[in-house]
Amino acid sequence: MMKIIAHRGNIYGPNKERENSPEYIEEAIVNGYDVEVDLRYIDGGFYLGHDSAKYKVDFKFLSKTELWIHCKNFGALNYLIDSDLNYFYHDGDNYTLTSHNFIWCYPRMIGASMNTVCVLPEWGVDEVDESHFAICTDFADDYYDKTNFI
C-alpha cells in the first residue's frame, strides 16, 4: 500500500501560516498521514520551519514514527546521525537517500520503486505510479481520495 506524506503538515493545500507548526503536524498525524518536516538545530535547540527557525520542539516530538525529517542545516544532520529517526538532507539534488534507506525524489524526477518517495507530484507528474513506496504532497487529502492507497 502506498503511503501518503503530508508535506510540512499540509493536507488540503499549502498553508504558509501553519505549515511546520507542531499543532498542524499533529493534526495531519491524527488524520492518518505521515508528515515531512523541516528541521534546524541551532544553539542547542531544535526548530521547525522551512525558511527560518520558527517553532521550537524537543527530541521527543521529533521521535514520532510518522515524521520524515528534512534537515535544513548541518547541525540538524549531525545531531541526528546517531539516532533511529527517519531523516535526510538535500539541497536541490535530484535524489537523496533517507536514513531509513528510501530514495527521496526531487519533484518531476522519474523513478519509481518500492523504495522511492515521489515528492510534490502536483508539480507536474500526470499520474502517480503505484510502485512508489510513498508520495509527499501538499494535497494529502486529495491524493487519498483519488488513490485510497493508505
Cβ contacts of residue 15 below 8 Å, gap of 6+? 9, 24
Residue 149: predicted pLDDT: 47
Q: How far is CA 11 from the centre of its chain?
A: 12
Q: Which three cell numbers stand for residue 98?
A: 533517507
Give CA–CA dist 109/145, Å, rounded: 24
H-only helix segments in 1-131: 22-30, 59-62, 74-80
pLDDT (tens place) for every residue of the chain, 150 residues total: 789 999 999 999 999 999 999 999 999 999 999 999 999 999 999 999 999 999 999 999 999 999 999 999 999 999 999 999 999 999 878 899 999 999 998 776 667 678 888 888 887 765 666 777 888 999 998 877 665 544
Kindly list the distances between the CA atom of residue 148 and the CA atoms of 35, 51, 124, in Å, as whole numbers in the listed order.
17, 32, 20
At residue 96, the pLDDT reads 94
pTM of this prediction?
A: 0.90
Please report the pLDDT score of residue 123 as a whole number: 73
